[in-house]
Structure formats: structure tokens, C-alpha cells
Amino acid sequence: MSGWQLGDRTVNRLGFGTMRLKPETGVEVLRRAVELGVDHFDTAAFYGPANELLRAALAPYAPELVIATKVGPGVHPERGFYQAMTAAELRTQVEENLRGLGVDVLDVVNLRVGNADSLAERFGVLAELQKAGLIRQLGVSNVTTEQLEEARAIAPVVCVQNWYSVDRRDDDSLIDLCASYGIAYVPFASIADGVATEAAQAVAAAHGISAQQLRLAWTLHRSPNILAIPGTSKVAHLEQNVAAGAVQLTPAEVKSLE
């Protein structure tokens, strides 16, 4: 798998998202991912057992592994699902991720926002926690171009994590902007089921791969700064996803899919 920089690290472009992990298979899946060359994991405290499974499977973490987490959304015993808006709430979420992963410093923390409002105050809180030594690098999630620029004015941004796929390409210009800045673009839902066009079926058949593998391969072909993070709870699906990273599409095939 080819690589791209995630801030001051270079990681393989095919990573792993932990949201779908299940307690009964999570440790096996995570360890197999590392065996297959995955060195970039995406997680969050609000993903249920994900952080604890990462800790059980991979701690003490090898120095080449990068674990990116996110804050903003949270789950409270009394409040239920909520969006962190204050400094105290954000610090609590950072500390929750530190405890769950069993680390003293978080590799990457993405601030996920829920609307197009200003993120300056919240991102500023994370920048202060970075200065305090709790966070190594910062990213943003579910953001507009304007919000990215707002964040970059406060502290360096190493990644943008937004919804993107061959069927949902609103971020085409943002991906190119990130590439010009040397910022990694990390799409989620890139292999979510879409309409299988006749062209897509023909390309998948020509390569002997599934529609999901084709969607993932197209995503990686879109731009070299894309770091994909497909998730699964099954080793077999993990192996299929990693195999998709080696699929070489021709320019004509890429164009037909678009």
C-alpha cells in the first residue's frame, strides 16, 4: 500500500475505522489489520467498545501506529448523546479517550462539528490541550472549506475527515485544497452501498472484485492525499478491503465510474 503523510508521520493509505468493531471479534480483527500493514486507526470514545478493544489488541502500541480519535459528539449517562461545546466538556472527552486507549498523549484528535457555525472557540480549546501535551496533532471533521480555514488560522491541521464517496462528491474542491496544503483527506462512508451502475458492474467484473472493493479502489484513485478508513467486524471483509488497495484502475475505468 502506498503512503501519505498524516502530519509528521507517513501512514499507509488504507487504514481502519473502528466504529463497527464488536467485542467478540474486535481483537482478532485489529491484530490481523496490523499483520496486513494497516498503521492508521480511526476511533472515538463514543464508538462504544472501540478504544478498549484497541488497547486490548495493540497496547503497548508500536511506534509506527497512528491512532486518530475524535471529540465533539459524546454520550453521557444522564444527558444521552450530546455535542461538546464548552472547554470543560471537550477536555473531559479528551481525557476519556486517553483513559480508554491507555496512553498519555493522543496521536491525532479530530474536532467533529455538527453544523456550519464557527468552530474557533472549540478548536482553540484543543489547541491549548495540544500545548499542554495531551494531544500531538489536530484535525477537523464534518467541516466546510471556511471552517477548515478558520481552524488553520488557530493551529496546524493535519487531516480533514468528511463524508465522501463516488456517489457523494460535494468535497471534490476541498480534497484538492487539502492536497495543496499537504493535509490528508480521510473520507468516511466511502464504501456505503450506492447504486451499482452498469459501468461499475463491468469494471468490478473485469477486476474480479466486489462492488464495495471497487468503490474503495476508486476512492484511493481520486487523490494521493486520501487516507481511506473502511471498517468492519469481520476478518474476511478486512482482508477484502486491504486487497482493494492494490487494485489498479485505468483512467478510462475511473472516468466511466464518475
Q: What is the CATH number of the domain that holds 187?
A: 3.20.20.100
Orientation angle between helical segments 198-207 and 211-222, nearest 10 degrees: 90
pLDDT in the model for residue 194: 65
Active-site residue flag, 47: yes
In angstroms, how far is CA 206 from the centroid of its own chain? 29
CB 238 within 8 A of CB 21: no
CA angle, 210 then 213 then 219, to 5°: 145
Q: Is residue 127 part of a domain?
A: yes
Stretches where the chain sits below pLDDT 50 are none
Give the domain range for residue 121.
4-194+222-248
Q: What is the pLDDT of residue 153?
A: 98
CA pair distance 199, 203, nearest whole angstrom = 6
Q: Considering the domain boundaries, does residue 240 fall inside one?
A: yes
Beta strands in 118-251 (DSSP E): 135-141, 159-161, 184-185
Q: Which three cell numbers stand for residue 95?
A: 481525557
| pLDDT at residue 77, as a whole number | 84
Cell numbers 500545548 label which residue?
131
- Tell whether 119 is covered by a domain: yes
Our count of domains for the chain comes to 1
The predicted model scores a pTM of 0.96
Q: Which of 47, 82, 164, 185 is catalytic?
A: 47
CA distances from 138 to 88, 101, 134, 184, 197 (A): 18, 17, 11, 12, 38
